[in-house]
Structure 1
């Protein structure tokens, strides 16, 4: 049993490592962020469709005719949010670099803490407000010392907000429906949304013949390993590990990504000591918040057991 848990823990680290590599792929792919995301989502939909057929997972919700229209529209809305998240994420990489983008994306947990009480019954926590002030101060410091990357930083922060929004609206559905089924509906909605954009701005579309052989290679890896595989594998791993372990490991994504970017892209990713200091403060606050939140949840569970 212990060996199974260790294997799943190592598997989770491998998945997070793959997610960190996503940003590097965004830098390596030559096309702009919007067509890049369209190709990523389209290929991921095809791959998940094949997986569902092999695993004999139904492509319809049980009682699909009775499924509320509001829920269907919710899936479409979530797909649009994730598409915009990826567009701004890769846009930030194109405007700055991988290190800057991942440092901004790491604030997603902070935005989740702010937005969750606005959309759910969760209450604001005092220390999270203090952490928020520290993160804002660290961001201001980074903006001040890395002025050439301001556009990329803004896009990265927008991407983090969209990521937090997607997580909040998707968490309930994941408990009610098969994750692969939700995923294919949402990704297909994202493809449809960007396809509509191309109808309005056809010049932004990048056809298959325009893509280089390396673009096809990187996009293939992005859609298969970093999207379809990583999503399905992460759901399986989360069944065997605690939420606390999963959360702390996922927060290492920027660390893995920045390391990989420096290793693969070299001098283009070398930042000033001030940047690493600011990014380090943000990551430290996010990890501390996760530890305190886990302790708080454990305390609540103990109190409930006592009262029961």
Structure 2
């Protein structure tokens, strides 16, 4: 019985990863300014999650002491999405997704500091392996190069995502995952309303379907399932299992956008994913 439950939890987490991985191809495909894309993404997903919570009669009540943490997690989530989508626009699905997937190693390094868990020296070696992987992703150290900018933005996105996941770990056991995700979407929407008003958002007339897909599959369902997994796995474990996401994303990019990664990207990606797989095996044992 316990094995069946564990298998179900693993399958749900992998489904979440498959859905979230659609963000790479959709981020490249949707032709609007990045803050506008993320603003509409958060707005649409927020409406969908609100209707779902009302249908399920899930309480939206939160404790006053938890609200600052939830608001901060929303700000970090918004920064993660914006920097990630800029990385996608400046490069391709492979570079964009692989560069943010240093976040499991960042999480492994930050979790002992922020949550006072035991620090493990092997994480320093894994971090070094990730840095070598990033070296292969970056063509050179020329900051005028769009791929270099993309990787740097991807690293910043990974840091924001790691911090968001760690601080949400302390709250996810007290609330429904859909409600926590909804509050974060509200924060992101409010932060990006000025961009929706003052930047060119007319493209939504022709881009509403892929934007709605991004909001429903990637955000409302995918991120809610991932957030719910924090109840069953440690943040580091959930992050590490999610390493399959770039693989899904690159395959989707090849099928729908015809973006085939070059050899250096494949080498860098393999090094990053190797560090993640090593940690995954260690955590499982």
Structure-2 separation of matches of 1:261 and 1:88: 19
Q: Which moved more, 1:7-16 or 1:157-166?
A: 7-16
Does the Cα contact within 8 Å between 2:105 and 2:276 map onto a contact in 1? yes
Partner of 2:181: 183
- Which consecutive residues of structure 2, in runs of 5 or more, have no partner in the other structure? none
The more displaced of 161-170 and 13-22 is: 13-22
1:235 shift after superposition: 5.7
Equivalent residue for 1:287, pick from 261, 265, 277: 277
Question: CA RMSD of the aligned region, Å?
Answer: 2.5
**Deviation (angstroms), 1:151:** 1.1
More helix by share: 1
Deviation at 1:118, TM superposition (A): 2.7
Query: How has the CA–CA distance of structure 1 residues 235 and 75 changed in structure 2, closer, same or farther, with 3 Å as cutoff?
Result: closer
Is the CA contact (8 Å cut-off) linking 1:145 and 1:275 kept in structure 2?
no
Greater Cα radius of gyration, structure 1 or 2: 1
Q: Find the partner of 1:164 among 162, 178, 184.
A: 162
In structure 2, what is the Cα distance between the partners aligned to 1:174 and 1:52?
A: 16
* Equivalent residue number for residue 250 of structure 2: 258
Residue 236 of structure 1 and its aligned partner are, at CA, apart by 6.2
Candidates 89, 105, 116, aligned match of 2:111? 116
1:258 Cα deviation (Å)? 0.7
Write the distance in 1 (CA, Å) between the matches of 2:120 and 2:228.
Answer: 31
**1:78–1:148: structure 2 CA closer, same or farther, 3 Å change rule?**
closer
1:28–1:14 CA distance, 2 compared to 1 (3 A): same
Structure 1 unaligned blocks of 5 or more: 296-308
Partner residue of 1:227? 219
Output the CA distance in 2 between the equivalents of 1:120 and 1:236: 19
Corresponding residue for residue 134 of structure 1: 129
Distance 1:271 1:233, change over 3 A: closer
Q: 2: distance between equivalents of 1:248 and 1:203?
A: 39
- With 282-291 and 116-125 compared, the bigger mean Cα shift is at 116-125
SS in 2 for 1:110: helix
Normalised TM-score (structure 2):
0.88
CA drift at 1:182? 1.6
Question: Is the alpha carbon distance of 1:176 and 1:242 closer, same or farther for their aligned partners in structure 2, counting shifts above 3 Å?
Answer: closer
Q: Report the CA distance shift for 1:232/1:134 in structure 2 as closer, same or farther (over 3 A).
A: closer
Shift of 1:11: 4.5
**In structure 1, C-alpha distance between the alignment counterparts of 2:86 and 2:111, rounded to whole Å:** 26
Looking at structure 2, the residues matched to 257 and 58 of structure 1 have their Cα atoms a distance apart, in angstroms, of 34
Q: State the Cα distance separating 1:76 from its structure 2 match.
A: 1.2
Residue 10 of structure 2 corresponds to residue 13 of structure 1 = no
TM-score (norm 1): 0.82
Instruction: Indicate conservation of the 8 Å contact 1:32/1:94, yes or no.
Output: no
The 5-angstrom pairing of residues 1-308 of structure 1 reads 9-61=10-62, 64=63, 67-68=64-65, 71-144=66-139, 148-195=146-193, 197-198=194-195, 202-206=197-201, 209-213=202-206, 215-234=207-226, 249-266=241-258, 269-295=259-285
